[in-house]
Structure 1
Amino acid sequence: ILSKMTQYCAIALLTGDAYLGVEEILIPDEISRQVTLPERVTSFNADKLQAIVNDLQVCLACLYCFGFDFREYQVGFIEQNGVTCDLRGQSAERRQLEIGAVVHRPVRDGDLVFVSRHPAVYKHSVIALTARIHPGKSFRINPLVCSPLKGDFDGDRLHVYFPQAEDARVETRELMGLKQQFQALSSGNPVISLTQDMLVAAYMLVSRHSFFTAPQIQQLGLHADRWSLPDPAIVKPRALWTGFQAFGLLLPSELAFSTRTGVLISDGELVTAGDDGSWLGGGTDSLLRAIHEKFGVAEAIAYLDSCCSMLKEFLHIEGFSIGLGDFSVSDRQREAISELLAYAKENYVE
């Protein structure tokens, strides 16, 4: 982490994927085949690890094509009966695993890693995430995780570390996990919350002008935790669901929440939203903080995961763009501005 060389670290370009969970990271397949993790053979994982060892010849061939001579050996060996065995050219009998052996296998889905974006200057700069392998060339994370990492997608590089020892993996999970550092040390507010496109989409979703047909609300419902859709708010001339109902699919069924700005949620249903969208963020009076305090960090993370995928799907349906008309000033607004400037010059300018 302190910029020292390590054989179990990778650096690549950082990109975003809103369909990922906030506790997940996509790792390129090329990197996953170069880095190994030790795993001890037990009666529970013997068949799984034996299949990996039997399939290592394919992995070694791929590594050889890429020219990773050192990693070719590193991926292809096991520790058994106190002896380190190179698997290249070994017979099937020599590659038969015994209970207690240690297999140095490639990284796969579900492995725990921790990431940082240099310079890592405070606690939340290092976060543990669950790996998923993909065929791309860059690391991908949920855009909401950029906030604690102080990063963005304009060319930033992300450092990913692969803990080797079992105690290191336990410390990674228990000390660096997003659940363990969900609240900021300074304010107590969540370190991640809806921002940028997700925040704009949430504000548009809860507006009074959002209505959805049956296929649209079903498509949005695929990304929510609730499986049962409410009755349509409008029945004739055709069935329509409101944005309030769509947003309610993201909320815990027993949630009660209100603000001084006119927001009211009762039994997990959004009743009024008001004109202020600050409650959708991660501030002191935000919905996310209320979910975290009443239902725990697991429910708060599940809410964020559902929000990201649903709101991105909503933007595909509704769309959001800015044109020159959004920057034009009407004649009435120009007159009001001129009157304010004239009043200021007359009363405040000497």
Structure 2
Amino acid sequence: MATGGKIELIHEDWDFLQLHVALYFHSEISGIPINMAPKKTTRGIVQRLKGKQGRFRCNLSGKRVDFSGRTVISPDPNLMINQVGVPVRVAKILTYPERVNPANIRHMRELVRNGPSMHPGANYVQQRGSSFKKYLAYGNPVAAQDVHYVPSGPKCSAEDIRFNECACTPYNADFDGDEMNLHLPQTEEARAEALILMGNQSNLVTPKNGEILIAATQDFITGGYLLTQKEVFLTKEEAMQLAACFLANEDSTMHIKLPPPALLKPRRLWTGKQMFSLLMRPNDDSQVRLNMVNKGRNYTGNKDLCSNDSWIHIRNSELMCGVMDKATMGSGTKQCIFYLLLRDFGELHATKAMWRLARVRMTRFYCGLN
């Protein structure tokens, strides 16, 4: 432009500059004219970051570090969304340094007596002011100031890491031989950061658009779909069997109020929709009163008179009508019941509802309920 070039040359140089800026960011864009294609191909910023050979997966995630383990993953609906089932063999080897104080000295002495052969136990004892560690596999176990003990928690007898299937989406995990790493933070600060910042219960939605990322998937959706069909009726024994599957973990002593039967004559029967409502509000003490009106995937019209029963209406956590499907239980939407539970009542109620749905699906499978 300074030398008074023709407008055609200016446009051509402009396009050439624009192309090279684009190639600087993404070197594999398509549709490049032959006369403008670069003679030497380079790796753009995108190519340097993404993929298995990119900076994240190859140089950051692929580091070899201490206090970590790796093995095959498997699904386990019994676990909460924020829990991981660790093989006993791995749990006996990985340790966490625990400082002895008056509040935990009795528990620490018990761990030292168990030693490295029992779980939970302790592998090493370290005296205050000393860097020397006593390995408890040899000699007599003694009480000490600093104990490297094996953390207790959900564990499985198999040789695989297990977690709830609802958490597969953010990890892009499937169970055809995938492996995952297990890390143990070694300080209280790192432990707190991992628990609060990296915990699944604190990352249920994606920062990209705020949609729910961890929600029901595959056979959990199928189970909820089959349970809420309008022709599904359960006897008292079957209804109590499904309700009893909520009694586990910290809810093992929870009181569950079974709603009145939908049919009284000739036999008392409960609907599947009533059982699904217990996922959200198992008793009168619960403060969860979810309200939602939404169209299902098979909605035809006429709202609650839809021929496919695909008009979902939830009032005070009671499913009045409609069949639950992927649109109302799956991820990638803001009309999912778990997103609404998270938004209105917090992450605890959302994760518990997912876990209860997983337990209901598993109970129906093992008990042969249709």
Q: Which category describes the TM-score, using the shorter chain as reference length?
A: 0.7 to 0.9
The alpha carbon displacement at 1:82 in A equals: 2.9
Partner SS state of residue 259, structure 1:
strand
Q: 1:275 and 1:254 mapped to 2: Cα distance?
A: 18
Alignment of 1:284-299 (within 5 A): 284-299=334-349
Q: 1:173 and 1:279 mapped to 2: Cα distance?
A: 29
Q: 2:133 and 2:346 mapped to 1: Cα distance?
A: 47
Of the candidates 20, 36, 53, which is equivalent to residue 95 of structure 2? 36
Alignment of 1:13-162 (within 5 A): 13-56=72-115, 58-59=117-118, 75-88=123-136, 89-91=138-140, 95-97=142-144, 101-109=145-153, 132-162=154-184
Q: Contact 2:224–2:324 at 8 Å: present in 1 too?
A: no
Amino acid at match of 1:259: N
Which structure 1 residue ranges, 5 or more long, are not aligned? 64-73, 110-131, 321-350
The alpha carbon displacement at 1:183 in A equals: 1.1
Per-residue deviation, residues 164-186 of structure 1 (Å, max 9, x unmatched): 12221121112101122121011
Aligned partner of 1:268 in structure 2 is 317
Q: 2:173 and 2:140 mapped to 1: Cα distance?
A: 49
Partner SS state of residue 162, structure 2:
strand
Aligned partner of 2:289 in structure 1 is 254
Q: Contact 1:280–1:287 at 8 Å: present in 2 too?
A: yes
Q: Contact 1:14–1:156 at 8 Å: present in 2 too?
A: yes
Partner SS state of residue 127, structure 2:
strand
Q: 1:156 and 1:308 mapped to 2: Cα distance?
A: 21
Q: 1:80 and 1:205 mapped to 2: Cα distance?
A: 59
The count of residues paired between Structure 1 and Structure 2 equals: 281
Aligned partner of 2:272 in structure 1 is 243
The alpha carbon displacement at 1:59 in A equals: 4.8
Q: Contact 2:81–2:201 at 8 Å: present in 1 too?
A: no
Q: Contact 2:225–2:323 at 8 Å: present in 1 too?
A: no
Which structure 2 residue ranges, 5 or more long, are not aligned? 1-59, 247-253, 282-287, 297-310
Amino acid at match of 1:96: A
Q: 1:277 and 1:81 mapped to 2: Cα distance?
A: 58
The alpha carbon displacement at 1:279 in A equals: 1.4
Q: Contact 2:224–2:325 at 8 Å: present in 1 too?
A: no
Aligned partner of 1:184 in structure 2 is 206
Runs of 4+ residues over 6 Å off in structure 1: none
The alpha carbon displacement at 1:319 in A equals: 6.0
Partner SS state of residue 107, structure 2:
helix
Aligned partner of 1:333 in structure 2 is none
Of the candidates 51, 62, 67, which is equivalent to residue 3 of structure 1? 62
Task: Tell me which moved more, 145-154 or 307-316.
Answer: 307-316
The alpha carbon displacement at 1:80 in A equals: 2.5
The alpha carbon displacement at 1:239 in A equals: 1.1
Q: Contact 1:78–1:87 at 8 Å: present in 2 too?
A: no
Query: Which has the greater radius of gyration?
Result: 2
Task: Tell me which moved more, 29-38 or 251-260.
Answer: 251-260
- Same amino acid, percent of matched pairs: 23
Task: Tell me which moved more, 148-157 or 272-281.
Answer: 272-281
- 1:231 and 2:273 aligned: no
Of the candidates 230, 242, 248, which is equivalent to residue 220 of structure 1? 242
Q: Contact 1:203–1:280 at 8 Å: present in 2 too?
A: no
Q: Looking at both structures, which has the greater relative contact order when contacts are Cα pairs under 8 Å and sequence separation is at least 6?
A: 1
TM-score normalized with structure 2 length: 0.71
Per-residue deviation, residues 143-165 of structure 1 (Å, max 9, x unmatched): 11111110101000011111112
Q: 2:89 and 2:275 mapped to 1: Cα distance?
A: 40
Amino acid at match of 1:247: F
Q: 1:276 and 1:311 mapped to 2: Cα distance?
A: 14
Per-residue deviation, residues 233-254 of structure 1 (Å, max 9, x unmatched): 1112211110111111111352
Q: 1:90 and 1:80 mapped to 2: Cα distance?
A: 19
